């Protein structure tokens, strides 16, 4: 009896496109949050400035505001006023200068600022009046920050869909926003499947039973999810039984936007994720043409999205970065979810071309090239700890030392 033909493997690009398309009809949930607490969140609404920044011409140096036309060799100019930041100066009298400090408004009539280091105090005929001599010839506009040179009234200074960092929070504050409309954190339920899994601390290493392994996936997946801005519910380890898997999925879908699992997505008799998801909802993806990470599942369980990652730790780690990361970004309203790559030199040979798109664990060296971790097995988590990135190798390509290849920095993906 012949078996039915297998479906062709999905290219990574197609799989990502289908994942993102599943979010097309889902509006991004948002909430108002204090600007002080919005670091790392995704902006859900454009920030449009209701003022100009700076609001008026001001000095970018401690020094003296003056008219360039008043300067002449050897001429002393009287200091007619003092303008600290936060105060408003008077119109500048002809033939005088204003002592001015960084951030203070330029007095009407002045057209330049001279640094205090380029000025020398000299005795005046009137002992009560300070006088200075300018020892350089300034240019009009020197050391003056012009009104609106940073932000114009009505300008969009932060765009919807951007992930907020420290600089963006400072920009929001500079245009007067104490609160920002941001995407709500995706609520994610996480669990692992496998009777062989043991939690660190539950059994000492010397007492581990035959065939048991510590559940490493649970730890790095929870950390990755939190770095992606998610609220994570850790639902532990689910036994390798169909009924237990169905119950765990059903419970997880009740109060979460997204259910993420690792293990049980292959085609073995003890892999129950696929039939469990099909029993509760639908399954849309199954096999991806990448290495590591071919077993992969996406679908819906009730109203919640579902993704099942392979159980091998490197496969789980890599498929999270390649597929779950863009999905979670788009769920929060980020439009640009492409993998950031750069062209670097391979300082190794890779003669074993594979029919799948490969993601090799590599590390940048001091010569500007890439070194390859010697063991590229999907179970060797050491390769991800050692490496600082992935080499994106197209299907069917062997690599010769010196070739230009595409490098994906883990720092760019996880920062």
> Which CATH number among 2.40.40.20, 3.40.50.9100, 1.10.510.10, 3.90.105.10 corresponds to the domain 30-52+155-183?
3.90.105.10
Averaged pLDDT for residues 14-24: 95
Q: Cα–Cα distance between 316 and 266 in angstroms, integer? A: 12
Q: Answer whether 28's CB lies under 8 Å from 331's CB.
A: yes
Query: Of 319, 354, 361, whose CA–CA distance to 220 is shortest?
Result: 319
What are the φ and ψ backbone dihedral angles of 42, each rounded to 5 degrees? -100, 130
Alpha carbon 370 to its chain's center: 24
Per-residue pLDDT of 148-190, as tens digits, reads 999 999 999 999 999 999 999 999 999 999 999 999 999 999 9
pTM of the model: 0.86
Structure tokens at 23: 């979010």
Averaged pLDDT for residues 399-404: 98
Per-residue pLDDT of 353-387, as tens digits, reads 999 999 999 999 999 999 999 999 999 999 999 99
Half-sphere exposure of 4 (CA within 13 A, CB side): 2
Q: Cα–Cα distance between 145 and 300 in angstroms, integer? A: 55
Instruction: Please determine, looking at this structure, whether the domain spanning 58-145 carries the CATH number 3.30.530.20.
Output: no
Structure tokens at 166: 């420290």
Per-residue pLDDT of 308-350, as tens digits, reads 998 899 999 999 999 999 999 999 999 999 999 999 999 999 9
Question: What percent of the chain lies above the pLDDT cut of 70?
Answer: 95
Q: Residue ranges of the domains in the chain? A: 12-28+185-331, 30-52+155-183, 58-145, 341-414
pLDDT at 83: 97
pLDDT classification of 1: cutoffs 50, 70, 90: very low
pLDDT at 8: 83
Query: Of 334, 312, 289, whose CA–CA distance to 23 is shortest?
Result: 334
> Domain 341-414 belongs to what topology?
Beta-clip (2.40.340)
pLDDT at 2: 44
Instruction: Give the H or E element holding residue 259.
Output: strand 258-262
Q: What number does CATH give the domain 12-28+185-331?
A: 3.40.980.10
């Amino acid at each position: 009896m012949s078996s039915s033909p297998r479906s062709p493997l999905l290219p990574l690009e197609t799989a990502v496109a289908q994942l993102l398309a599943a979010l097309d009809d889902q509006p991004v949930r948002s909430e108002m949050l204090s600007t002080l607490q919005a670091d790392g969140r995704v902006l859900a609404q454009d920030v449009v400035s209701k003022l100009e920044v700076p609001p008026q011409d001001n000095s970018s140096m401690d020094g003296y505001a003056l008219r360039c036309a008043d300067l002449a060799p050897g001429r002393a100019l009287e200091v007619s006023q003092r303008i600290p930041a936060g105060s408003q100066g008077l119109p500048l009298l002809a033939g005088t200068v204003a002592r001015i400090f960084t951030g203070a408004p330029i007095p009407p009539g002045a057209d330049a600022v001279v640094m205090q280091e380029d000025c020398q105090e000299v005795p005046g005929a009137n002992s009560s009046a300070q006088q200075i001599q300018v020892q350089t010839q300034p240019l009009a506009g020197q050391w003056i920050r012009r009104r609106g040179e940073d932000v114009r009234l009505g300008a969009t200074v932060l765009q919807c869909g951007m992930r907020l960092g420290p600089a963006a929070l400072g920009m929001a504050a500079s245009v007067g926003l104490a609160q920002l409309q941001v995407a709500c954190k995706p609520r994610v339920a996480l669990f692992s499947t496998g009777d062989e899994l043991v939690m660190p601390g539950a059994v000492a290493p010397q007492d581990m039973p035959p065939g048991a392994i510590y559940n490493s996936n649970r730890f790095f997946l929870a950390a990755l999810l939190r770095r992606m801005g998610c609220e994570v519910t850790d639902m532990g380890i689910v036994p390798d039984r169909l009924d237990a898997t169905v119950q765990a999925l059903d419970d997880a879908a009740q109060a979460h936007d997204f259910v993420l699992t690792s293990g049980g997505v292959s085609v073995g008799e003890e892999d129950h994720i696929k039939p469990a998801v099909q029993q509760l909802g639908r399954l849309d993806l199954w096999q991806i043409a990448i290495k590591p990470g071919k077993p992969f599942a996406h679908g819906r369980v009730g109203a919640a999205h579902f993704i099942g990652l392979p159980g091998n730790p490197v496969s789980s780690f890599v498929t999270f970065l390649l597929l779950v990361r863009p999905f979670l970004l788009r769920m929060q309203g980020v439009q640009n979810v492409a993998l950031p790559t750069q062209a670097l030199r391979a300082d190794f040979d890779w003669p074993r071309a594979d029919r799948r798109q490969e993601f090799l664990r590599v590390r940048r060296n001091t010569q500007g090239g890439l070194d390859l971790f010697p063991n590229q097995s999907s179970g060797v988590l050491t390769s991800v700890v050692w490496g600082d990135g992935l080499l994106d190798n197209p299907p069917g390509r062997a690599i010769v030392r010196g070739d230009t290849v595409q490098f994906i920095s883990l720092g760019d993906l996880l920062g």
